[in-house]
C-alpha cells in the first residue's frame, strides 16, 4: 500500500471542484486516509515547495497556494502515488490529456487545480508536513478486497 498527498489548490476550491476531484479518487477505488480544509501558512507552503525555491515561478506559486482555502488529502492504495499523478495529468494543462483532472478542468500552468506527490520520498515528506500521525485514519472498507492482490 502507498500513501500520497493531494491538494485541491485555491482555484479548484473556488471553482467548486473539491467533490469532483475527490470523487474521482474514490470511484477509482483509492481510499482517503486523511482530509482537511485549510489555509496553508506561508512557512508550510515554502517548505512544501522548497525544491522550486529560486525558480522564476516560485514566488507566484507560494502566493497562490496561500491565497485561499485548499483541501488537503492523503490518498491510499496500491500504486497510489503514480496512479494519482496519472489521474492529475501533465503539469501544464496544455499538455494534459482529456480525462485527466488537469486535462478536464485547467488551462494554465499557474492555475492547474491539483497537487500530487511525485514519488515515495516526496509523498512521505509532504504527508508529514500537513498531517500528524493521529490525523491519518486507518479503517477498513467493505470494498477494500477489490483493491488488493
CB atoms within 10 A of CB 6: 27
Applying CB under 6 A, does 110 fall inside the site for ligand UDP? Answer: yes
Looking at residue 38, the DSSP 8-state letter turns out to be E
- How many Å apart are CA 58 and CA 2, to the nearest integer? 28
- How many Å apart are CA 99 and CA 102, to the nearest integer? 8
- Given the complex with Mg ion, which of 46 and 118 has the nearer CB atom? 118
Q: Of the listed 3, 9, 48, 115, which one is catalytic?
A: 115
Given candidates 14, 36, 39, 57, which one binds ligand UDP under the rule CB under 6 A?
57
- Given the complex with Mg ion, which of 94 and 137 has the nearer CB atom? 94
CB atoms within 10 A of CB 45: 19
As measured in angstroms, the least distance from the Cβ of 132 to Mg ion is 23
Applying CB under 6 A, does 46 fall inside the site for ligand UDP? Answer: no
Catalytic status, residue 115: yes
CA torsion, ordered 79, 134, 44, 29, to nearest 10 deg: 30
Reduce the DSSP state of residue 98 to 3 states and report it. Answer: strand
Given candidates 91, 120, 135, 141, which one binds ligand UDP under the rule CB under 6 A?
91
Name the one range near ligand UDP by CB under 6 A: 22-30, 40-48, 112-120, 140-148.
Answer: 112-120
Closest CA to 64 of 12, 10, 102: 10
Applying CB under 6 A, does 95 fall inside the site for ligand UDP? Answer: no
- How many Å apart are CA 90 and CA 132, to the nearest integer? 30
Given candidates 7, 33, 71, 112, which one binds ligand UDP under the rule CB under 6 A?
112
> Annotated catalytic sites, by residue?
115
Contacts with ligand UDP, residue ranges (CB under 6 A): 52, 57, 61, 91, 109-110, 112, 115, 118
Amino acid at each position: 500500500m502507498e500513501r500520497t498527498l493531494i491538494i485541491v489548490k485555491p482555484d479548484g476550491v473556488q471553482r467548486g471542484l473539491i467533490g469532483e476531484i475527490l470523487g474521482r479518487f474514490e470511484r477509482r477505488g483509492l481510499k482517503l486516509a486523511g482530509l482537511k480544509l485549510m489555509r496553508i501558512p506561508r512557512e508550510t507552503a515554502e517548505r512544501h515547495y522548497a525544491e522550486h525555491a529560486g525558480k522564476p515561478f516560485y514566488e507566484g506559486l507560494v502566493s497562490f497556494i496561500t491565497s485561499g482555502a485548499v483541501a488537503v488529502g492523503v490518498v491510499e492504495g496500491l500504486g497510489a502515488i503514480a496512479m494519482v499523478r496519472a489521474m492529475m495529468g501533465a503539469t501544464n494543462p496544455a499538455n494534459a490529456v482529456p480525462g485527466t483532472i488537469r486535462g478536464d478542468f485547467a488551462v494554465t500552468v499557474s492555475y492547474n487545480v491539483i497537487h500530487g506527490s511525485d514519488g515515495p520520498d516526496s509523498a512521505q515528506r509532504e504527508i508529514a508536513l500537513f498531517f500528524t500521525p493521529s490525523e491519518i485514519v486507518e479503517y477498513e472498507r467493505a470494498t477494500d478486497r477489490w483493491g488488493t492482490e
